[in-house]
Amino acid sequence: MYSEKFQKSLAAVEAARDKNIAYEPARMTAQQKEDLLAAYHPDYKQDEFDTLKIGPNKGDKVPKELAATLQAHSRITADSVDLCTPDYDVDVLIIGGGGAGASAAIEANEAGANVMIVTKLRIGDANTMMAEGGIQAADKPNDSPAIHFVDAFGGGHFAAKRELLSKLVCDAPEAIQWLSNLGVEFDKDENGTMITTHGGGTSRKRMHAAKDYSGAEIMRTLRDEVLNRGIPVVDFTSAIELILDENGNAAGAVLMNMETKELLVAKAKTVIIATGGAGRMHYQGFPTSNHYGATADGLVLGYRAGAKLLYAETLQYHPTGAAYPEQIFGALVTEKVRSIGAKLVNAKGEVFMHPLETRDVAAASIIRECTTRENGVDTGDGCGVWLDTPMIEKIGGEGTIEKRIPAMMRMFEKYGIDIRKEPILVYPTLHYQNGGLDIDADCMTTNVKNLYVAGEAVGGIHGRNRLMGNSLLDIIVFGRSAGQNAAKACKDITVGKLTLDHVASFEKEIADAGIVTDTVSPKLLPDYTRRK
Amino acid sequence: MENMVNIYLFGKKYEVPSNLTIMCAMEYAGYQLVRGCGCRNGFCGACATIYRIKGERELKSCLACQTKVEDNMYIATLPFFPLVKQVYDMEKVKPTDAIMMQLYPEIYACIGCNACTKSCTQGLNVMQYIAYAQRGDFEKCAEESFDCVMCGVCSSRCPAGISHPQVAMLARRLNGKYLAPECAHLNDRVQEIKDGTFVELIEALMQKPIEEIKELYNNREIEK
């Protein structure tokens, strides 16, 4: 139920609905997209970026908030931790308990390695859990990994590392098969054919889903498998620094109990960073669709230990975050809503773009509608455009919403909005960290040995923008691969003397560069407490 | 002036704006959350919460991130509940009637009180999906329980000691692995990739100049 102030615009949307359903808006040309992004996409706002003064990416521009956290003080001093008597000694240490970490753990365990997960919240408190729309894989007869490659490469502005992208698309069908064999329930018809849809920027319908709980269904199944295998999960424990050995190779991490603040030392032959994204950094003041712990920790840990970042300046703003009601401001409204028929409509009831442009283009287009074009709807706390969900029922028949996007229905129902009958208000929300640590196809960082990365903490798989459904895919493909490769590498690794010298030298770099800061990192959790 | 309400966090009174969720109200009151907060979007089940409105008899449950505060709300969070999770080898368990009896025999002690259903933070028919599990109807159990976020509130209310979310987890995995129809086109494609069917195509893309890939991308045919 929308209040009086929305009624006039709502009436316009309703009146135009039948016409809008029939209307097929043109897709933008390459030039139109480029111009739109340059004018409206947050990644292009130069004054929101700072140049890094120290570290492996010295001279590169990254979001201000990330620069501050990358160039911040450690939570410890190099000589304050006793590394001689580790609390844990394992083959593979996995930092992060999301989809990438869990996949890595299962594969490392399968390969016979002694593996352990540390996670600062619980296993499964991760962006994976919240991925709603689906997972891509080119497994239909009219599709191929090569077509998938072109879609993703173009969608990412031709910037992806090709060896990573080809691995992503070629290993995709097997990833789906692996998940199916673990018991993940994908939407299929009675013959076993996957029910697949488009995502923004795809040229084939290759989005596999489990209703709109795709990530949750995958995550809870992976978690269950981790527990079945007896893999130790040290929860409510964050990694606050990597430990290197005397040869400069990754060899463990300093851990901190999130509740008692006790410090612990984990020694390992290989380390996998699977710490996920950075939505809770709230770049440029955006709300986020991300989980509570998405604070770019892995980037900080890796950076201090000497690992390079790639495309850290590119973020994904999901075009459809909830703009109303305020209690769910910034929460994800899955792209699947558009995949199954809803179009974006402005305050006047006009369809202003093709609903399935890539995410960066769609976000920029909505921002344009709400700013210079002044066609946005005033929500009281901001501005938004309509996502006309009742179109879905008109196109797919009554009951489609409940069957295909039950989580969306529930989310709005709690605030008295029946998305089967009323459209919803959306505005871009900070969703995904396109960039991250630079790795090779074996998932090892390009310049710190025995340090592997998987999932959202990786940069370069998608280039400068990511397509829907390629993130759930990448956490599985690269998670599994990192686990397999780390486990295999362990057999030939002898860990040298443990050291935190890199922490001391990073502190020195901060001082030498004249950086004055009170910030400590990794951030671990955002602080939303009210300051009086 | 914001409209304020009184709430009681673990019995202690705080005045908070009425438009906040319970989770945001706790933060407004000054709590820096570590436990009881995960996705903040209703998917992870970390913020199970029980509450009672002063003067009412009924004990209610919800997810703190998905529920607005009310005046005179007595709130206790339930950030952890000791569910029983049985360990099994997915390759060895089979979707037989006997499996639930082996792993979760307590479901047959259900007394039909329906407290689980009444307390479900997702509004699921929990007792019904347990009934399906008792009968070995894993497909129906999977469907009925699909939206479960495993917050554990149902189990906290169960006099029979059933760990409903874990029972449903097993049912869904059995259904997904053994009962759902095999996907032929998926198996075919995996085999084709193993056979190297696409190697040449991919190799060509690995070498292709950017301008040529741009041509390909900008002129690709898009499935209707």
A276-306 per-position pLDDT tens digit: 999 999 999 999 999 999 999 999 999 999 9
Question: Average pLDDT, stretch B47-59?
Answer: 97
Q: Which of A27, A211, A331 lies closest to B146 in CB terms? A: A211
pLDDT attached to residue A133: 86
Which chain B residue has its CA at the smallest distance from A173's CA? B190
Chain A neighbors of B173, CB-CB under 8 A: 182-183, 221, 224
**B135 is written with which tokens?**
């009968």
pLDDT recorded at residue B96: 93
Give residue-wise pLDDT tens across range A138-183: 999 999 999 999 999 999 999 999 999 999 999 999 999 999 999 9
CB atoms under 10 Å from CB of A478, counted, come to 31
pLDDT tens figures, A437-451 = 999 999 999 999 999
Q: State the nearest Cα–Cα gap between A140 and chain B, in angstroms.
A: 6
Catalytic residue chosen out of the listed positions A148, A291, A304, A338: A338
Q: Tell me, what DSSP letter sits at residue A228?
A: H
Which residue among B32, B68, B184 sits closest to A529, beta carbon to beta carbon? B32
Q: For A191-200, what is the mean pLDDT?
A: 95
B4-77 adopts what CATH topology?
Ubiquitin-like (UB roll) (3.10.20)
Whole-number average pLDDT of chain A = 96
d(CA B87, CA B81): 18
The interface predicted TM-score (ipTM) is 0.97
Q: Is A368 a catalytic residue?
A: no
Residue type, B30: G
Provide the pLDDT confidence category of residue A532 given band limits of 50, 70 and 90: low
Q: Which domains does chain A have, with CATH numbers?
A: 4-40+317-430 (3.90.700.10), 88-134+212-314+434-499 (3.50.50.60)
> In this model, does residue A9 exceed pLDDT 70?
yes
Range A323-339 average pLDDT:
92
Does B1 score more than 80 pLDDT? no
State both tokens at B195: 């056979």
User: What's the mean pLDDT in A236-259?
Assistant: 98
Domain ranges of chain B: 4-77, 98-179, 184-217
Above 90 in pLDDT, residue B2?
A: no
Tell whether the model's pLDDT for residue A431 goes beyond 60. Answer: yes
Is this structure's pTM higher than 0.90?
yes
Nearest CA in chain B to A170: B193
pLDDT digits (tens, 9 = 90+) for B139-167: 999 999 999 999 999 999 999 999 999 99
Contact between chains at A139 and B185 (C-beta distance less than 8 A): yes
Average pLDDT score, chain B: 96
State the average pLDDT over residues B52-58. 96
- Looking at residue B156, its pLDDT comes to 97
Q: Is the CB of B220 less than 8 angstroms away from the CB of A332?
A: no
pLDDT at A405: 93
> What was the pLDDT predicted at A132?
87
Secondary structure E strands in A357-500:
377-378, 383-387, 424-433, 436-438, 451-453, 458-459, 498-499
User: How far is Cα A175 from Cα B189, in angstroms, rounded to an integer?
Assistant: 12
Q: Residue-wise over B83-106: b if at least 16 C-beta within 10 A, else e?
A: bebeebebeebebeeebbeebbee
Helix axes A214-228, A99-110, angle to 10 degrees: 30
pLDDT band at A381 (very low <50, low <70, confident <90, very high): confident
- A148 catalytic residue (yes or no): no
Evaluate whether A344 touches A337 at the Cβ level (below 8 Å). no
What would the mean pLDDT of A499-525 be, rounded to a whole number? 97
pLDDT at A531 over 90: no
Looking at the complex, report in whole angstroms how far the Cα of residue A493 sits from the nearest Cα belonging to chain B.
30
What mean pLDDT is predicted for residues A91-98?
Answer: 98
Q: Strands, E, within B111-190: which ranges?
A: none
